[in-house]
Amino acid sequence: MATPVIETQNVYRIYEGAAGYTPALRGISLTVPRGEFLAIMGPSGSGKSTLMNILGCLDRPTTGTYRLQGIDVSDLSDDDLAHVRSTQLGFVFQSFNLLPRASVMRNVILPLLYSPVDPRERELRAIKALRAVDLPEEYWDHGSNELSGGQVQRVAIARALVADPPLLLADEPTGNLDTATGEMVMRTFLRLKARDKTVVLITHDAEVAAWADRTVHIRDGRLLTAEEERAFVERTARGARAAAGASDKDAASAVVPAGPTTPAPIAGPREASAL
């Protein structure tokens, strides 16, 4: 059996603050095989960003293990983690994080500037990455501030690819894009998956997650399967309906019905003639 690209076992991430201990991740176990396109969905505060930081070797688990390409990265030194990030991982962010006045080519080459790769090889790798995301050559000398949102995001993906990492981590990559442009970016991820890249995408959007091979859900620091997520949503909906029904009953019982009113006396003939 091939070694998974990602394998976490019972990962917890607990933060300590003035108010005590706050568990952000609670026993995360996740396996992602090579070439899979995985979406991780969850609402704000669910632990998505914390999980992304762990998978991207930007943070360490409090307890549990994380194996990347079969290597336990949980206890690596900071220097070793930096090397892993530069060679094994590509990051794609919602905000692009490109140098606005630098050319497309310069932005893509940037991750290789401190590597032992010679300048000609850097350029060849950048060309390969730009072709992989299908950005026309006529744009390569443009500044990134001269491109559309979808083109800029494709440049950001090319930059993530330039070191040829096996794993791409994308954090809300379509969050700043319109629907049509977002579809263009998602098709780029599909092409990369077809080239045996592993893609893990964080999103809160079900339409974006639908592009992936598989979706897992995270709530309160715990991973849920699609079935568990549906059951959670149904329970929440039932609880909301029950609460709404109870509120309606309370409101109805709080209304005091008006008592019978005393009709005005009918004027007799004498009083009527006096009017």
pLDDT tens-digit profile of 143-195?
Answer: 988 999 889 999 999 999 999 999 999 999 888 888 888 898 899 999 999 99
The helix or strand, by DSSP H or E, that contains position 189, with its residue range, turns out to be helix 179-194
What are the structural domains, with CATH classification, of the chain? Answer: 35-48+78-233 (3.40.50.300)
Residue 68 confidence (pLDDT): 96
Q: How far apart are CA 174 and CA 186, in angstroms?
A: 8
Of 145, 140, 116, 118, nearest in space to 128 by CA: 140
Mean pLDDT value of segment 116-133: 92
The identity of residue 137, as a single letter, is: E
Query: And the tokens for 233?
Result: 């949503």
pLDDT higher than 70, residue 248: no
pLDDT higher than 70, residue 135: yes
Residue 180 confidence (pLDDT): 87
Mean pLDDT value of segment 238-260: 70
| The model's pTM | 0.81
Question: Dihedrals φ, ψ of 60, to 5°?
Answer: -115, 145
Three-state SS at 39: strand
Contact 200, 55 (CB under 8 A): yes
The identity of residue 106, as a single letter, is: R
Residue 102 confidence (pLDDT): 92
pLDDT tens-digit profile of 39-79?
Answer: 999 988 899 999 999 999 999 999 999 999 999 998 899 99
Residue that is written with structure tokens 């319109």 in the block: 178
Q: Is 142 exposed, middle or buried (0-12, 13-18, 19+ CB in 10 A)?
A: middle
Sign of the dihedral defined by the CA atoms of residues 55, 56, 57, 62, in that order: negative
pLDDT tens-digit profile of 69-102?
Answer: 999 998 899 999 998 998 899 999 888 788 888 9
pLDDT range class, residue 214, cuts 50, 70, 90: very high
E-only strand ranges, the chain: 6-17, 20-32, 37-41, 63-68, 71-72, 89-93, 167-171, 198-203, 214-219, 222-224
The alpha carbons of the chain give a radius of gyration, in whole angstroms, of 29
Residue 90 confidence (pLDDT): 93
Mean pLDDT value of segment 188-210: 93
pLDDT range class, residue 269, cuts 50, 70, 90: very low
To the nearest whole number, what is the mean pLDDT of the chain? 87
Give the pairing type, strands 89-93 and 167-171.
Answer: parallel
